[in-house]
Amino acid sequence: MSEPDTKRVKTANEAPYELIYWPGIPGRGEFVRLLFEEAGVSYTDTAKSGGDAVPTVLKLMAADNKGDDVNPPSFACPALKHGDLRLSQTPNILLYLGPKLGLAPTEGNGIYHINQIALTILDCFSNEVHDTHHPVALSDYYEAQKPEAKRRAKSFIDERLPKFLAYVQRVLDGKASGDGPWLYGGKLTYADLVLFQGIDGTEFAFPKTMKKMRDSGKYDGVFKLYEAVKERPNIKEYLASDRRSQYSDGIWRHYPELEED
Amino acid sequence: MSEPDTKRVKTANEAPYELIYWPGIPGRGEFVRLLFEEAGVSYTDTAKSGGDAVPTVLKLMAADNKGDDVNPPSFACPALKHGDLRLSQTPNILLYLGPKLGLAPTEGNGIYHINQIALTILDCFSNEVHDTHHPVALSDYYEAQKPEAKRRAKSFIDERLPKFLAYVQRVLDGKASGDGPWLYGGKLTYADLVLFQGIDGTEFAFPKTMKKMRDSGKYDGVFKLYEAVKERPNIKEYLASDRRSQYSDGIWRHYPELEED
């Protein structure tokens, strides 16, 4: 296993963080990476471990992997190692890391509100975007389900996407979002980072559609928040670095025919 | 609003619990109900409020609902009211209630493991089961997407369902599940209740398929856990009561053609 780099790990304990994810795509791992990057906290990313990257994921998901004495096995990646702890499920990893990295409250019920918003954003901008290119046969190629994908994409573009964007705008318009561009409590939280990645990926997958949504003026707060995250110094540096993977055949794919009339 | 019944509310504070959900189906609200029922804690269920039930849900999801000073709005139901707190997103409500109702640890990292397992079970036995009858047009009728549903159901039956069942069996076979039939730490947690409802609903939707899965002998721990939950005194009483809704046109629907060869 590679060693974490030398940046200070600012956590309750001194254990290093390790992210396990597929190489070559941003994917769901990106939601986790953005928390570390914004917080300026070092982490090991197995996706960047060359030839070890795929075997590490396959070992995590193997049929004979039953976890260990204290950790249940993972169904899929991303997964997180932190000391003796092993966690999977994207929203669960974010829930664990948020308060530790200064990206969610450590007391009170705010964490449940942030989890609620993050789950909803993941439903739309990650899970439902994925299903536009894989609506009926999850293990098969896109090319084997193009007519179905076209139909699912139409439902996404015409109904689901505007409905979710309107929801996020409602969150921003509500008093619980507080001052400034952020979703909750007047402060940047991990929900904002999740929204940034969701919008960014969806703009890659459906550029014409997302331009229409921007230009409609109905969701100005959403796109303003997106820009505000993009300009955070640590995020800006990260996006320009080679740690940021390019979009390709992951969750967010650009098939132009899916947004043609 | 109707008053909660007279059973003692065993929570950190004395506020009553109120569940907001669609009437007439178990649906995702059922995951929440099972926690209250197992714990023997009283709750108000707006699904059972007669003519007020649908308007209550519509108000929750209305385009002008922006939450309040402390609570963001909800995208969908189920939602939970507890004192001044308003929460939505099924796994989020369970995460909040679990420790309060004695169905998850109140200290340490166990809650993240339970959340991980619950999220994975919800993905398969609730979300993916739903998508078998609504694969390409979420707001349209099943009848308008039958060929696509047939294809999605085949993928679910042949690949996804066995993969998820094998995962749950691996969790049970792993040491972190502890002694007894339960998923985590040798004790009943809300993850077990989520599995019970997921299996029960999927048996309604795909009875022939689930019988094959049972008879295969590959997932004996999973079905043993299902039976163990069903025999819990409070659950048994609940399932026999009129508080338990019958399956119909919700997440779990029985379309025989979806499991015919």
pLDDT, tens digit, for every residue of B13-23? 679 999 999 99
Max CA separation in chain A (angstroms): 54
Distances (CA, A) of B65 to A168, B17, B57, B96: 12, 21, 11, 23
Task: Dump pLDDT digits (tens) for A211-251.
Answer: 999 999 999 999 999 999 999 999 999 999 999 999 999 99
Q: Which two tokens stand for residue A150?
A: 């076209």
Instruction: Name residues whose C-beta falls within 8 Å of residue A54's C-beta, 6 or more positions apart in sequence.
Output: A22, A23
Q: Which pLDDT score is estimated for B6?
A: 40
Of B67, B113, B137, the CB nearest to A155: B137
Q: What is the dihedral of CA B147, B153, B158, B159, to 10 degrees?
A: 110
Measured between beta carbons, the chain A residues lying within 8 angstroms of B183 are 72
Cβ of B151 within 8 Å of Cβ of A131? The answer is no
Q: Which pLDDT score is estimated for B7?
A: 42
Helix (H, G, I), strand (E, B) or coil at A79: strand
Task: Dump pLDDT digits (tens) for B233-245.
Answer: 999 999 999 999 9
Q: Which pLDDT score is estimated for A13?
A: 61
The whole-number average pLDDT for the span B208-225 is 98
Instruction: Name residues whose C-beta falls within 8 Å of residue B164's C-beta, 6 or more positions apart in sequence.
Output: A75, B120, B121, B123, B124, B125, B128
Q: Which pLDDT score is estimated for A246?
A: 96
Helix (H, G, I), strand (E, B) or coil at A24: coil
Separation in Å, CA of A89 to nearest CA in chain B: 6
- Which letter does DSSP use for residue A51 in this model? G
Q: Which pLDDT score is estimated for A158?
A: 97
Separation in Å, CA of B211 to nearest CA in chain A: 22
Task: Dump pLDDT digits (tens) for A186-218.
Answer: 999 999 999 999 999 999 999 999 999 999 999
Q: Which pLDDT score is estimated for B9?
A: 37
The whole-number average pLDDT for the span B78-98 is 98
Task: Dump pLDDT digits (tens) for B33-73.
Answer: 999 999 999 999 999 999 999 999 999 999 999 999 999 99
A–B interface: beta-carbon pairs under 8 A: 162
Q: Which pLDDT score is estimated for A138?
A: 86
Measured between beta carbons, the chain B residues lying within 8 angstroms of A183 are 72
Measured between beta carbons, the chain A residues lying within 8 angstroms of B159 are 138-139
Strands, DSSP E only, in A98-243? Answer: none
Amino acid at A220: D
Residue A260 pLDDT level (bands cut at 50, 70, 90): confident
Task: Dump pLDDT digits (tens) for B113-127.
Answer: 999 999 999 999 999
B-chain residue closest to A150, CA distance? B136
Determine the Cα–Cα distance for residues A247 and A221; give it in Å rounded to an integer: 25
Q: Are B151 and A136 in contact (CB under 8 A)?
A: yes
Task: Dump pLDDT digits (tens) for A2-33.
Answer: 444 434 434 456 799 999 999 999 999 999 99
Of B63, B68, B160, the CB nearest to A166: B63
Neighbours of A125 (CB within 10 A): 27
- Which letter does DSSP use for residue B85 in this model? E
Percent of chain B with pLDDT over 70: 95
The whole-number average pLDDT for the span A44-48 is 96
B-chain residue closest to A157, CA distance? B137
The whole-number average pLDDT for the span B151-167 is 97
Beta strands A17-20; B79-82: pairing state: unpaired
- pLDDT of B203 > 50? The answer is yes
Task: Dump pLDDT digits (tens) for A142-175.
Answer: 999 999 999 999 999 999 999 999 999 999 999 9
Q: Give B5 or A228, the one with higher predicted confidence.
A: A228
Measured between beta carbons, the chain A residues lying within 8 angstroms of B173 are 66
Of B56, B84, B54, which is closest to residue B70 (Cα–Cα)? B84
Measured between beta carbons, the chain A residues lying within 8 angstroms of B139 are 155, 159
